Amino acid sequence: MKHLIAPSVLAANFAKLYDDIQMVNKSEADWFHIDIMDGVFVPNISFGFPVMQAIAKHAEKPLDVHLMIVDPDRYLTACKESGAEIITVHYEACTHLHRTLAAIKELGCKAGVALNPHTPVSLLRDVIQDVDLVCLMSVNPGFGGQKFIDRTYAKISDLRTMAAGINDALLIEIDGGVGDKNAALLLEVGADVLVAGSSVFSAESPTEAIRSLKNVVHGAQQV
């Protein structure tokens, strides 16, 4: 499968959000990555469901929603009703993760789980067959524009090994500090979905930045 590119709307120009949505629609991007924060799970607040609904109204590609909130069960229905196709919750924010993943699937969405940089992939062993996507945070969640954490490469291969034969359709998504410099190696070690915020929206041509990420040649390592 060719890898997927999910531009993170967090880095868009909120005063011209419609233009940025159209840019993503017309680009080679696959998904919209939507970061929802509550100021509790992460030390920042982004935007909520009314803004997401406005995005969904114009987006022509799936909304990949990353919930950085405590006790996300409270908002799964609202998230689905606001246009989510993929809902990702944080391992660290769920007391009953298995139940939460089942609830996401019952809503008809794809279920994802995100891991903070300090959380080992081995903790997913008993739910790996129940998830559609694992989002490995390659920065501490809460802010765009941070430096990529190199330990992520090893986590990707560990996760791929762990999922082999159990969930071969698992999508491994990488979120934080992703750009032209690390994309090839991330794909080489097993990533399927690259989230990119600042490397896309701060580029001179965001459309070209997306094209470049989408057309990275696997194996062309450039660390």
End-to-end C-alpha distance for the chain, whole angstroms: 23
Q: What's 32's DSSP letter? A: E
d(CA 205, CA 12): 13
CB of 135 to ligand DX5, least distance (A): 8
Site string for Zn ion, 49-78 (x = CB under 5 A): -----------------x------------
Q: For Zn ion, give the closer residue by CB, 44 or 207.
A: 44
Instruction: Indicate whether 146 belongs to the interface with ligand DX5 (CB under 6 A).
Output: yes
176 with 141: CB under 8 angstroms?
yes
- Residue 219: how many CA atoms within 13 Å on its side-chain side? 0
Q: For Zn ion, give the closer residue by CB, 146 or 218.
A: 146
Instruction: Indicate whether 11 belongs to the interface with ligand DX5 (CB under 6 A).
Output: yes
d(CA 56, CA 198): 21
Dihedral angle, C-alpha 5, 11, 121, 30, nearest 10 °? -20
Size of the site for ligand DX5 (CB under 6 A): 22
d(CA 92, CA 108): 23
Site string for ligand DX5, 162-181 (x = CB under 6 A): -------------xxxx---
CB of 219 to Zn ion, least distance (A): 27
35 is catalytic: yes
Q: How many CB atoms lie within 10 A of CB 22?
A: 14
Tokens for 61?
Answer: 């590609």
Tokens for 206?
Answer: 């965001």
112 binds, among Zn ion, ligand DX5, none (CB under 5 to 8 A by kind): none
Q: How far is CA 184 from CA 25, 149, 161, 179, in A?
A: 24, 15, 19, 9
Size of the site for Zn ion (CB under 5 A): 3
Residues 35, 64, 92, 132: which binds Zn ion (CB under 5 A)? 35
CB of 123 to ligand DX5, least distance (A): 19
Chain positions 60 to 99 lying near ligand DX5, rule: CB under 6 A, are 66
Q: Which of 30, 38, 64, 175 is catalytic?
A: 175
Indicate which residues carry an active-site annotation. Answer: 35, 175
Interface residue list for ligand DX5 (CB under 6 A): 8, 10-11, 33, 35, 66, 139, 141-146, 175-178, 195-199
Interface residue list for Zn ion (CB under 5 A): 35, 66, 175
